[in-house]
Structure formats: structure tokens, C-alpha cells
Amino acid sequence: MKAAAFDYVKPTTIDQVLALLQQHGDDARLLAGGQTLMATLNMRLSEPQLVIDITGIESLRGISVQGKVLRIGALATHTDIEFSPLVARHAPLLKAAAPHIAHRAIRNSGTFGGSIAYADPAAEWPTCLLALGGTVVARGPKGERRIAADDFFTGLYSTALQPDELLAACEIPLAGVDHWFGFSELARRHGDYAIVGMAATARREGDALHGLRIVLLGVDATPVRARQTEALLEGRALDTATVTQAVASLRSEIDPLPDLTNTPDTKRHLAGVLLHRMLPTVATASATA
């Protein structure tokens, strides 16, 4: 289908965008990569009066190190992240997750900011941001504010962003030398929605993990942190018994929602499988470190 008619504007500054949002409110939609918005408009699930193209705003671009954080501009594409040397060094979890996102043509256009703002619970970036303990930088009429990932994803396709705010960038703590990460997802075909996926980060000391963040995608209305299992694993040597306990803990702490083809039990089981496969990589990483 073709999108319904709309007006189009391409501002060059964030202030212009904010002014337009104030003026038009819900009648306007922001366009970045368009990989979600354009499909929405094509199917006429939304008929805005105005599309505000933000891809002309230079300050939203770029991936750079700023002090102790890696700053990823809202307009960084999935491909940018996949091949960025800074990401490979300072947030390798993102590099590991990027190839799982749809296909190359989508990745060339789709943006990091768009994915975070859309907050699909089955998407890779929101889950990774939560696993990395990142921060969203929002710009609004009152200025800039920072929202921790733990506070950002509030419900299905819902975030802490106000309607008059723009997601400008995300900040991710630089990976330390003891950084351990894991990313895995299960889908029937590459590019499909994951049945369940997992992103995890921690600090590794010997064979034990500290400060774990284990996040699941595809099981609930938002990415889900497995806090009970994180606490269980804190500081413990990852022998077989511990891994078995952790898998059981994960399966007991999550309450998955089904989708058309997978029951809650399937998702619960598969979440455990992902953890079971991921934890032994800690020992391997230690061996090669």
C-alpha cells in the first residue's frame, strides 16, 4: 500500500525539531531510518499530517568516546554500529548483536535511536542497552536530561520519553579490561523475530562474574532483567552445579507471554537453554584472556 499524503520537513537543528513537535504534537511523526515508521505509514496504521525528517541534524550523528562513556548518536545506523572500531573495542556486545538485526538493507537505514525509542520488546538494541547499563540522552524544551536504561522501558512500545522530547543519543559505559559479555538469540530463520534472546554483561574475575546484568528479549512487554538469577550468580564459580541452579532460577523467575507459535513454556525452556549455553563461555574467555 501507499502511505496517505503528508507534509514533509527536514530541519537542521534539534531546536527546530522541538519547536515543530510543540506546534504539531501527535499530528507529527519523527522520521529517522524509517524502517518502522515507513512500514507503519505504508499500511496506513498511522496517517500523520507532518513527517519531520531528522536525518539532516548533524549533532545526532556519530559514535565517539566522551570521557568514560561511548556516545552513540541517535542516527547511528545498525550497520554503522556493526562495523565501528569504537564499538568493537568499547561495547563489543553491540557488535555481536548487530548481525541478528533483520537484513543488511534494513541495517543500512535503521537507526539506533529509532530502535530504542520504539522499544520493541523483541528488538536487540533495547535489550543490549539494558544489559550494558546504558543511559538515554533526551532533548526537550526544558533542555537535556538523562534516563537510565533501567528506568527507560516502561511498557509495550512505551518509554520514559515525553511526547515533546527527542532521543538524541545513548551513552554506554566503556568496557573495562575485565568485561565479559554474551549475546544469543533463537529464531526459526535468520531475520525472523527471535523466539527468545539474551544479552548479558558482567565483570569477570577468574572464573566468577560480578555485577551481572542478564536481560531477555521476546518474553514480555519490555526487555526483562533476570535479577534473581543475577544475584544467584554473583561472585560464584561457574561449575556445573551452579550453572544448573542458575538455569532453574531463570526458568522460575520469568513469566513469559506467549506469541502465535510459542507457548510460555517454550519460551521459558529456551531462555534456560540460552543461559546454559552462555555461562560456560565465561570459562573459555578466561582461558584465552
Partner 1 sequence: MELNGDILIGAPREKVWAGLNDPEILTRCIPGCEAMEATSPTERTARVAVKIGPVRARFVGHVRMEDIRANEGCVLRFQGSGGAAGMAKGHSNVELTDEAGGTRLRYTAQAAIGGKLGQVGGRMIDAASKQMADQFFTAFNEQMVGVPEVEAVEATPAEPAPGATAAPQPAFVPRTVHAPQPAASGEGVRVLWFVLGSLSTGFGVWIASLLTS
Partner 2 sequence: MADLYPIKVTVNGKPHQCSVQPRTHLVDFLREDLGLKGSHLGCEHGVCGACTVELNGNIVRGCLTLAVQADGGTVQTIEGLSESGVIRDLQEAFVRRNALQCGFCTSGMLMAAKELVEQMPHANRAEVREWISGNYCRCTGYHAIVDAICDVLQQRKEAA
Binding partner selected for residue 79 from partner 2, partner 1, none, CB under the kind-specific 5 to 8 Å limit: partner 2
Which of 141, 176, 191, 211 is close enough to bind partner 1 by CB under 8 A? 191
Footprint (CB under 8 A) of partner 2, residues 128-157: none
Binding partner selected for residue 182 from partner 2, partner 1, none, CB under the kind-specific 5 to 8 Å limit: none
Taking Cα atoms as reference points, which of 116, 90, 272 lies closest to residue 198?
272
Q: What are phi and psi of 118, to 5 degrees?
A: -75, -35
Q: Could you give the dihedral angle defined by the CA atoms of residues 18, 21, 24 and 27, in that order, rounded to the nearest 10 degrees?
A: 160
Supply the minimum distance, in Å, between the C-beta of residue 168 and partner 2.
20
Supply the minimum distance, in Å, between the C-beta of residue 108 and partner 1.
12
Footprint (CB under 8 A) of partner 2, residues 172-211: 189-191
52 has which bridge partners? 9, 30
| Strands of 69-73's sheet in order across | 63-66, 69-73, 166-173, 135-140, 143-148
Under the binding rule (CB under 8 A), the answer on residue 20 touching partner 1 is no
Footprint (CB under 8 A) of partner 1, residues 110-139: 110, 114-115, 118-125
Stretch that binds partner 2, among 45-53, 62-70, 194-202, 240-248 (CB under 8 A): 45-53
First to last CA, the chain: 53
Spatial distance between the Cα atoms of 218 and 175, rounded to a whole number of angstroms = 26
Supply the minimum distance, in Å, between the C-beta of residue 272 and partner 2.
26
Under the binding rule (CB under 8 A), the answer on residue 164 touching partner 1 is no
Q: Which is nearer to partner 2, 40 or 242 (CB)?
A: 40
Binding partner selected for residue 188 from partner 2, partner 1, none, CB under the kind-specific 5 to 8 Å limit: none
Q: Give me 66's grid cell.
A: 566522551
Rg (CA), the chain: 19
Spatial distance between the Cα atoms of 219 and 256, rounded to a whole number of angstroms = 5
Classified as helix, coil or strand, 151 is helix
Which of 7, 15, 26, 205 is close enough to bind partner 1 by CB under 8 A? 26
Under the binding rule (CB under 8 A), the answer on residue 23 touching partner 2 is no
Which of 7, 89, 146, 155 is close enough to bind partner 1 by CB under 8 A? 155
Helix pair angle (240-253, 264-278), 10° resolution: 150
Spatial distance between the Cα atoms of 208 and 283, rounded to a whole number of angstroms = 9
- List interacting residues with partner 1 (CB under 8 A): 1, 25-27, 29, 33, 35-37, 39-40, 43, 45-49, 100-102, 106, 110, 114-115, 118-125, 155-157, 163, 185, 187, 190-194, 218, 220-221, 257-261
